[in-house]
Amino acid sequence: MKNVLRPMNNINIDEKTKEVNIIVNTIFYPNELIVKTGEIFKDLCYVRLGGDPEGCMLISLTPKNENVDNVNIGFEFMNHLLAGIKEIEGF
């Protein structure tokens, strides 16, 4: 299995299965925001949430079709989380 680590060390892409795994610290990103962001991506990917809701959550995204760019989907997920934090914090 070939894994490719991208510049953000919390995003790991398995090139063989096309699965993207993201580790998110719930100190910075509330569980509700992680779940809400997962809902946004459910049309593009199979979304699985795991890990510790009071520590680090593991988000696994597997594209539903080959048109989804699995290399960038993790970054897009993180961008949505950051936008959600900005909205919560009032930036």
Q: What is the pLDDT of residues 27-86, one digit of tens each?
A: 999 999 999 999 999 999 999 999 998 999 999 999 999 888 888 999 999 999 999 988
- Judge residue 39's burial from the number of C-beta atoms within 10 Å of its C-beta, 0-12 exposed, 13-18 middle, 19 or more buried: exposed
Q: What is the count of structural domains for the chain?
A: 1
**What residue numbers bound the domain in which 43 lies?**
3-89
Residue, of 6 and 9, whose pLDDT is higher: 9
Query: How confident is the model at residue 8, as a pLDDT?
Result: 61
What pTM does this model have?
A: 0.84
Q: What is the CATH number of the domain that holds 68?
A: 3.30.1360
The amino acid that residue 81 corresponds to is: L
pLDDT tens-digit readout, 9-33: 899 999 888 999 999 999 999 999 9
Query: How confident is the model at residue 66, as a pLDDT?
Result: 87
